[in-house]
Structure 1
Amino acid sequence: MPKAVLVILLLFVSSYHLQAQTWEVGGSVGAAGYIGDLNPNNPIKPSGISAGIFVKRNFDGYFSARLTYSYGRIAAADSTSSSQQQRDRNLSFTDGLKELSLIGEFNFMNYIPDAGPNRYTPFIYAGFGITGYNPRTTFEGSQVNLRPLKTEGGKPYGDNTVVIPYGVGIKYNFQGKWNLAADLGYRYVLTDYLDDVSGSYIKKSALTSDLSRALSDRSGEVTGNYIGSPGSQRGDFKPRDTYFFLGISISYTFVTQRCYY
């Protein structure tokens, strides 16, 4: 992760010295999903688990900021698609996403655990972050890292990307200073290679190894004939992938001496 981004995240959280403030810590579990070249049409399809931990600064009953570390596992396989064209392409991947993000929240109702006028509130959020990714696939019974194989030629893509999280949720003060929340958040991602698929097939001779050639075009494994002629479409030609986390979180609020009640 770029050091400048990490410094900005830490300074943002530590720079507030407002009179009205509390800290909150918690964790979440749920599901992760992906929308991209191997799942172009279903924006709410989970494909793996997610989990996270966070620390939050509540500035008043409406506004807060949280620093979150999240892990999510996404996957997709052409073999499960309803499209014959995708089944013939026969690509697949899994990817473990590691996200560090700084997110601002806005509550629609004045929400102060154990003291405010409302025990629940819907909320929205947005922010920015960095996500590490590493697409893999299964070939001949073994897991293979796809990045170094350069299956579409050119230079290897990066191992992290800037993301913009945004989403909606609802939270509930179920006991004392304990909170329960559910949310759905999507990530605007500045890469199209979460799944190792983006553009066009290239000449087999331009690929660097037998393994690269085997995993660049896997259509022959199911059709007997390889469909990946140089220059023909391999991905969906959209500029970026997307992923989401759907989760349930539990948290505890620590009230400072100069609290906002």
Structure 2
Amino acid sequence: MIKSKKVQIALWILLGSIQCTLAQKIEIGGGLGAMNYKGDISPDLHPSFAKLGGHILFRYNLKNDVSFRASALIGSIYGDDKEVSDPFNQLRGKTFQTTINELSLVTEYNFLNYKYNRYHKDWSPYVFGGIGFMKFSPRDNPVSDYKQNQIVLPFGVGIKYNVRGPWDINLEFGTRKTFTDYLDNLGGDDPDLPKNLQNDYSKNDMYYYTSISITYKFIKIYCPK
């Protein structure tokens, strides 16, 4: 009789533990990365133009495959005509450096169901997209009265990997579509340049952020009483 009661208690505890759920809704973190740019001074990506950037983030994991992320980014972009092989750039000889501050809200989609599991390391590639607001400040005096506060559209790809317990690492490459041609402080109406050296102001500039983040997930275990 005693053994039977012990078996019943053990089974009750086992079933209760199976029904326990892990809440992994909230994540915070931060990281560093390289900022780069594509525009009039750098028509293609030049790794030598990369500058340091840093960010902090808050993530809400709605489901295993969908998350919402708010982040703040600060960094700078740079370019120099003399370091570009195009003869047009060499002749123009312009250079710039611009500080960028960005706030963004994006949705992430994990291709694999991503969640903490105490029995194995989890990982997943993901894509993201959303909307952001950025303020950019050129090192030199602005060439014209253009707006330095702009809406941006961030999007990109990444991969998440659970290192241990609540700690994750994220590797990410992100693009920012902008609606300005003046990130490099060079527009089609630059009065300091002759018409034959003006840039193509029909195309807006873009900037990129390649980063590594460390995040901490707040894990709570809920079990039925």
Asked whether the two chains share a fold, i.e. TM above 0.5, the reply is yes
- The 1:248/1:46 distance shift into structure 2, 3 A limit, reads farther
How far apart, CA to CA, are the structure 1 residues paired with 2:61 and 2:202?
Answer: 38
Report deviation, 1:101: 0.2
Q: CA deviation at 1:71?
A: 1.1
Cross-structure match for 1:235: 199
Shift, 1:167, TM fit: 0.4
CA deviations on 1:152-196 (whole Å, 9 max, x unpaired) are xxxx01121100000001110010010011010000101111011
Structure 2 gaps, min length 5: 1-22
Q: Name the aligned partner's letter for residue 240 of structure 1.
A: N
Q: Deviations over 1:82-109 (max 9, x none)?
A: 1121111011100111000001101000
Give 1:99's aligned residue: 102
Give the equivalent residue in structure 1 for 2:171. 182
1:21–1:59 contact (8 Å) kept in structure 2: no
TM-score computed with the length of structure 2 as normaliser: 0.82
**Residue type at the aligned position of 2:29:** G
Deviation for aligned residue 1:21: 5.8
Q: Which amino acid aligns with 2:141?
A: L
Partner of residue 124, structure 1: 127
Identity %: 32
Render the CA deviation track for 1:23-51: whole Å, top value 9, x for unaligned: 00000101000000000122766520111
Residues 1:146 and 2:141 are matched in the alignment: yes
Give the structure 2 partner of residue 31 of structure 1: 34
Q: Which runs of 4+ in 1 moved over 4 A?
A: 43-46, 115-118, 256-259
> Residues 184, 116 of structure 1: CA spacing in aligned structure 2 closer, same or farther, 3 A cutoff?
farther
Within a 5 Å distance, the mapping from 1:152-231 to structure 2 comes to 156-202=145-191, 216-217=192-193, 228=194, 231=195
Normalising by structure 1, we get a TM-score of 0.72
Contact 2:132 2:152 in 1 (8 A): yes
Gaps of 5+ in 1: 1-19, 137-144, 151-155, 203-215, 218-227
Question: Would the aligned equivalents of 1:21 and 1:60 in 2 still touch at CA under 8 Å?
Answer: no
Structure 2 vs 1, CA of residues 258 and 60 (structure 1 numbering), >3 Å: closer, same or farther? Answer: farther
Structure exhibiting the larger radius of gyration computed from Cα positions: 2
Q: Provide the aligned length of Structure 1 versus Structure 2.
A: 202
Contact 1:33 1:243 in 2 (8 A): yes
Structure with the larger strand share: 2
**Cα RMSD, aligned residues only:** 2.2
